[in-house]
């Protein structure tokens, strides 16, 4: 992987479906500045409407960014563009630029599977495989052909980072489906962390959890941001205020405003933001 500096980004239309066969690799050069993901003039178009309309946003290393806005505003579509999960939805077309450490993730030959290893994702409802706790975390490592000793060490490390090791470390061979909802969500986080991402995308990760499970996930976010860039979609503005360093407000497929969380909630610049956070709509 080359450490040579990249030229400044020039947003260009990109159609993932028409890309060259995957062959290029994402570099793991040191981040020269805090911006880990840079989005420029991003559009996502469906056959009859625009889902995301000219989004430009920078996501910093070792920071939690919350994405808020009413239902249907483009929050989930946005984070799915950040690791090319949007491509699994037929008929959607991506235009613009998404750069990870300065490299275009929609560039010719870039393997989307490799992108998803660098930029992991946790979904709204836990997706637990019908196998043991251990094998759930080891799943991605086995696909990569990782040595078994490294698999064992990584499973333990990932469960510790996800705050689950103390609860399951003595029962790794137990079926993962026997875990509580909150434990299953933390298991999904451990599985995402096992492949070594730098960015973790979380789409409403506490929406299906009780208050105890929600609190554990929120506590975990404070730990994870010491090593990762975390992007969380949430419908809960109180949650955004508790966990996020910065918050971005989306409406109608557009980015209305982004700022430090306290400033956005206390003194928003845009009237539309003020109306949303004071409950006048949404």
Residue 26 has pLDDT above 80, yes or no: no
Q: What is the pLDDT of residues 243-275, one digit of tens each?
A: 999 999 999 999 999 999 999 999 999 999 999
242 backbone dihedrals φ, ψ, rounded to 5°: -75, -40
Q: 24: pLDDT confidence band, cut at 50, 70 and 90?
A: low
Q: What is the pLDDT of residues 186-214, one digit of tens each?
A: 999 999 999 999 999 999 999 989 999 99
CB 109 within 8 A of CB 164: no
62 backbone dihedrals φ, ψ, rounded to 5°: 55, 50
Across the chain, mean pLDDT equals 89
Q: 145: pLDDT confidence band, cut at 50, 70 and 90?
A: confident
Q: How many Cα atoms sit within 13 Å of 202 on the Cβ side?
A: 32
Give the chain's domains with CATH numbers: 16-277 (3.40.50.300)
pLDDT of residue 14: 46
Distance CA 246, CA 259 (A): 6
Distance CA 132, CA 155 (A): 12
CB 259 within 8 A of CB 246: yes
Which whole number is the average pLDDT over 204-230? 92
Lowest mean pLDDT among 1-15, 61-75, 83-97, 213-227: 1-15
Q: Whole-model pTM?
A: 0.84
Instruction: Count the residues in the chain.
Output: 282
CB 85 within 8 A of CB 121: yes
């Amino acid at each position: 992987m080359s450490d040579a500096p990249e030229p400044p980004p020039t947003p260009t239309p990109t159609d993932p479906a028409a890309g060259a066969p995957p062959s290029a690799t994402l570099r793991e050069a040191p981040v020269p500045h805090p911006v880990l993901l840079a989005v420029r003039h991003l559009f996502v178009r469906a056959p009859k409407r625009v889902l995301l309309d000219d989004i430009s946003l920078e996501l910093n290393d070792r920071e939690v960014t919350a994405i808020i806005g009413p239902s249907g505003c483009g929050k989930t579509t946005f984070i799915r563009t950040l690791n090319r999960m949007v491509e699994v939805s037929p008929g959607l077309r991506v235009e613009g630029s998404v750069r990870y450490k300065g490299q275009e993730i929609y560039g010719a030959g870039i393997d989307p599977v490799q992108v998803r290893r660098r930029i992991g994702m946790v979904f709204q409802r836990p997706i637990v495989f019908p196998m043991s706790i251990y094998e759930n975390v080891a799943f991605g490592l086995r696909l990569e052909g990782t040595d078994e000793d490294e698999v064992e060490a990584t499973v333990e490390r990932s469960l510790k980072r996800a705050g689950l090791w103390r609860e399951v470390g003595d029962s790794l061979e137990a079926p993962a489906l026997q875990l509580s909802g909150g434990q299953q969500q933390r298991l999904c986080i451990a599985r995402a962390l096992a492949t070594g991402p730098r960015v973790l995308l979380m789409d409403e990760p506490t929406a299906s959890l009780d208050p105890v499970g929600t609190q554990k996930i929120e506590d975990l976010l404070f730990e994870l941001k010491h090593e990762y860039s975390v992007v969380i979609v949430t419908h809960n503005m109180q949650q955004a205020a508790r966990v996020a360093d910065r918050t971005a407000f989306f409406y109608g497929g557009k980015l209305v405003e982004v700022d430090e969380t306290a400033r956005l909630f206390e003194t928003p610049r845009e009237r539309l933001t003020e109306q949303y956070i004071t409950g006048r709509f949404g």
